[in-house]
Copies of this chain bind each other. A is one copy, B any other.
Amino acid sequence: MLTHHDVTVRVRYAETDQMGVVYHSNYLIWFEVGRVELMRALGFDYKLMETKDDTFIVVADVHCRYHHPARYDELLTVRTSILEAKNRTLKFGYELLRQSDSKLLATGHTIHVACDRAGHVKHFPDKYKQAFLKLVVPNDSRSHA
């Protein structure tokens, strides 16, 4: 049973800062890569979710804990799971792992609200909700922040 989805990103020079490590806001962009690829693994194209199904997953809440710095050129795994799927909200959990030694660099979550093009809150179309629900990690087996 699928419980999470892994995708690889390589750290770009542009993502580093003068401390010699990745600037912290870039982790949120990798989380975006993680949830988009998780949806693709479920058979959904987030682009079409917006254009065909008029459903935008607007970010309502973000949390990230930074355990160890990511550095230039490293290969990282963004491990994404679904922590909660409700009628109008969706919560993703993330673990960021360094591939060379499997070290956990960061953990986080994002909470999203389903909105239409005009920005009004709506229910997730059923096909999404059903797919998301199948993936939800039971509460007692979670390791996410």
The chain A residues found within 8 Å of chain B, CB to CB, are: 12-14, 16-21, 23-26, 28-29, 32-33, 36, 45-47, 56, 58-66, 69, 72-73, 119
Contact = CB atoms under 8 A, between A and B. Distances in A.
A13 B34 CA distance: 12
Given A25-B25, A62-B62, 18 more contacts: A12-B29, A12-B32, A12-B33, A14-B29, A14-B32, A16-B17, A16-B18, A18-B19, A18-B20, A18-B72, A19-B58, A25-B26, A25-B28, A46-B73, A59-B66, A60-B65, A60-B66, A63-B63
Contact of A24 (B26, B59, B65): B59
Given A45-B73, A66-B61, A23 B33 contact: no
